[in-house]
Chain A
Amino acid sequence: MNELLRAERLVKEFPVKNGVVHAVSDVSFTVAKGETLGLVGESGCGKSTLGKLILNLITPTSGAVWFKGTDLSALRGREQRRLRRGMQMIFQDPYASLDPRMTVGRIIMEPLTAHRVGSSRAERADMVRSLMEQVGIRPEFYGRYPHQFSGGQRQRIGIARALALDPELIICDEPVSALDVSIQAQILNLLSDLQAARGLTYLFISHDLNVVRYLSDRVMVMFLGQICELSPTEPLYSQPRHPYTKFLLEAVPQPDPTLRDDARALLAGEVASAINPPPGCRFHPRCPCADDLCRHKQPDLVEMAPGHLCACHHPLVDREIF
C-alpha cells in the first residue's frame, strides 16, 4: 500500500471550565494514495477536530501527522506551507465558507496568489477559468458573487478553490449535508469524477452512512474521540463488529417501507459528553453487552479479519445479540 497520510497516536484535549474535553484520544490510521477513507460518527465524536488536526489548523496535544512520509510538525514556516499545499479541505456550508464580497474568480484565485502559482495575474485567471470548467461552473460567471449561485453551485466553487493548488489529499467535511437530494447526487458524482481524473485521495467526513458507503473504500467509525471500528466498506456494512456500528446502521431510516421494523433495538440515551468521558470503554453506558470488564478496561483496537479493526471486549461474531 502506497501510504499518503498517517495519523500517529493523535490526541487533542481542550481545557474547559469544569474539566477537559477529550476531543480526539489516541487515534492512529493511514490513508493510501488514491483511496477514500470515510469517517462517520455522531455530533461530538471528534470527526471534525480530527480533520483540522490533519490539516494542522489546530495543534495536537500529542501525536503526529505524517504526509508523504514527512512529519508535518517537524517542519516550520515555508517548508510546512509547501507540504500543506498538498492537502485541502471542502466544508459543509458553502454559504459560510465563501467570502460574500469577493467574486467567484477571486475566491478561486486566492490560493494561487497566496502560493505564487503562475507568473502573472492573467495566467492565474486562465487557471481559474479552467478550474471552473472542471467543476461544472461556466467560466463566464467569473465576475459573479457567491449569492448569485445556488447551494450546489457554491459547493462546486468551494471544490474548485480546493483544487486550485493541485492537492493530493482533500478532506471533505460533510460536503453534501446541506444540499437537496438531487443536488447531492451531482456533487457526489463530481467528487468521483475528480478522483478518477486526478488520482485524488479523500478523507470523507459525514454522518450519512449511505453516502459514506457509496464513496468510501474503507470506513472508520468514531465514538467520543476514539476509533471503535475501521474496516473495508462492505464488511463493515454487512457484518459490523462493534455494537455501536450496528446500532448506527440500524438507526438509519431506509428509503424502503417494507423494511420498517418497529421492534428493532434503538440506542438509548444521549450522546455522552467528551468532557470527562466514562472510564473503560467509552461506549459502555449505552451498550447492551457491557459488563465489568467494559466498565474498567479500555478495549484495544484489534484486527478481527484482514484489515477489519474493532475496539470492543465483546465484538459481534456471526451472532445476533440484539
Chain B
Amino acid sequence: MENILSIKDLVVSFASDGRKDRAVAVNGLSLDIPRGGTVGLVGESGCGKSVTSLSVMGLLAENGRVDAGEARFAGQDLLKLPDRELRKLRGNRISMIFQEPMTSLNPVLTVGRQLTEAIRQHSDMDKAAAKARAIELLEHVGIPEAATRFGNYPHQLSGGMRQRVMIGMAMAMTPDLLIADEPTTALDVSIEAQILRLMKDLQRRHGTSILMITHNLGVVAELCDEVYVMYAGEVVERADVFTLFRDCAHPYTRGLMASLPRMTPKGQRLYNIRGTVPNLRAMPAGCRFAPRCELASERCHAEKPGLIDLGGGHLCRCFLRGEAANHE
C-alpha cells in the first residue's frame, strides 16, 4: 500500500540548561501512514508522541533537534526541507489541529477572515465567493448562526466551536494529511463525538489521511485503522485496531488496557501498572519497560528487545512476545 507519510528511524533530542548531555525524547521511531488511512499514535505523557509530529512538521522548540531519520511525504524528506518549503506544505497539503485551538488561530483576525484567506490561497475564488464558501464550511462543521459567527474573533467562540473552525479550515484546504494532536482532550463528550465525526467526514470527502495522537484509547478505537503504542520514546507495539483491542501483545499495552475502568464493578480493583515512566536521561539498559513489568526476566533488564513481527504486521517489542502475559 502506498504511504502518504513514512517516518524512518527518527531520533529527536532536547538540550536543557547547564547540561552537556541531551535528553533523547524519540529514539529510532518508524511509522507509516497509508494514503486515506487513519493511524493512531498512543501513549502517556512524555512518551514522545507529540515530539514525533512536531519534528516532522519542523515545529520543534528551539532546544529540540532531529538527530537522525527521515520523514518521506510525497517523495520529499520533510526533515531536510528548507523552512520556506515546509511552511508552504504545512498550510497546504498538511494540516494540523491541536488540543488548544486558540494557539493555532490568529487572535486578532476574525474567524471569517482567516477562513477566507485559507480558501483564497487554495483556489482562485474572489472575495465574495470565498466568503460564501467560508459560511458554508462553518455551517457544515455545525457552527450555529454561521453568518454571524463569521465576523467573530476566536476568543468569542467556545473551545468546541474553535476546534470546529480549525476543522473547517482543514476542509477548506483539503489536505492530504491531517495531524491531530489530542484534538478532543479539552472538550466535553458530546462535542468530542461531533469533532470525531467531522474528522471522519473530512476523510470520506477528500481522502485525507489522518495521524491521530492521543492518550485516549476510546478515541483510538473509534477512529483509527492502525495503532502505534509508544513508551519512553519508542514504539513498543503496532497492530491494526481490531487486533490491538482483541489481542494486544506487549505487557505495557496490556497494562494500559487493563487499567481502564470499563464495566468493572465497584469494589473490584483496577489493574495498575506499578511505578512511573523512566527519566529520559536515565533510561534502563535493557527493555525500557522492564522496571515496571511484572513479567520481566534477567534478560529483559540486561538486553534491549527489538520489534518482532508476530505475523501480519503486528509488531511487538518484547522478548516474551506477551504470550505469557495475562492480566485478567
A interface residues, Cβ below 8 angstroms from B: 36, 42-43, 150-152, 180-186, 188-189, 192, 207, 209-211, 213-217, 233, 247-248, 251-260, 262, 266-271
Residues of B within 8 Å of A213, CB to CB, are 261, 263
Tell me the smallest distance from the CB of B322 to a CB of chain A, in Å.
17
A255/B44 in contact, CB under 8 A: no
Residues of A within 8 Å of B217, CB to CB, are 181, 255
Q: Give the 4 A-B CB pairs with smallest separation, nearest first.
A: A253-B218, A214-B261, A185-B259, A180-B44
Q: Does B76 contact A (CB under 8 A)?
A: no
Known contacts A184-B259, A255-B257, A258-B242; decide if A270 and B158 are in contact (CB<8 Å): yes
A216/B245 in contact, CB under 8 A: no
Inter-chain CA distance A182–B276, complex, in Å, is 9
Among B44, B161, B193, point to the contact of A267 (Cβ < 8 A). B193
Residues of A within 8 Å of B265, CB to CB, are 214
Q: Does B19 contact A (CB under 8 A)?
A: no
Known contacts A185-B272, A214-B261; decide if A270 and B242 are in contact (CB<8 Å): no
Inter-chain CA distance A184–B161, complex, in Å, is 29
B interface residues, Cβ below 8 angstroms from A: 44-45, 142, 144, 158, 160-161, 188-194, 196-197, 200, 215-223, 241-242, 245, 255-257, 259-267, 269-273, 276
Known contacts A181-B215, A182-B44, A268-B142; decide if A209 and B189 are in contact (CB<8 Å): yes
A267/B190 in contact, CB under 8 A: yes
Known contacts A42-B190, A253-B216; decide if A210 and B260 are in contact (CB<8 Å): yes
Among A43, A215, A216, A266, point to the contact of B197 (Cβ < 8 A). A266
B189/A254 in contact, CB under 8 A: no
Closest chain A residue to B259 by CB distance? A185
A254/B218 in contact, CB under 8 A: yes
B269/A192 in contact, CB under 8 A: yes
Closest chain A residue to B46 by CB distance? A180
CB<8 Å pairs between A and B, sample of 10: A180-B45, A181-B256, A185-B259, A188-B261, A209-B189, A210-B261, A215-B266, A248-B189, A259-B221, A270-B160
B276/A252 in contact, CB under 8 A: no
A185/B189 in contact, CB under 8 A: no
Inter-chain CA distance A42–B241, complex, in Å, is 29
A256/B197 in contact, CB under 8 A: no
Among B190, B257, B270, point to the contact of A189 (Cβ < 8 A). B270
Among B160, B196, B266, B272, point to the contact of A253 (Cβ < 8 A). B196
A186/B261 in contact, CB under 8 A: no
Known: A43-B188, A152-B276, A257-B221. 11 other contacts (CB 8 A): A42-B188, A182-B273, A209-B189, A210-B261, A251-B190, A253-B196, A255-B217, A256-B221, A258-B242, A268-B194, A270-B158
Tell me the smallest distance from the CB of B161 to a CB of chain A, in Å.
7
Known contacts A185-B271, A255-B245, A257-B242; decide if A214 and B266 are in contact (CB<8 Å): yes
Closest chain B residue to A249 by CB distance? B189
Inter-chain CA distance A184–B264, complex, in Å, is 14
Residues of B within 8 Å of A185, CB to CB, are 259-261, 270-273
Residues of A within 8 Å of B142, CB to CB, are 268-269
Residues of B within 8 Å of A151, CB to CB, are 45
B266/A233 in contact, CB under 8 A: yes
Inter-chain CA distance A184–B273, complex, in Å, is 10
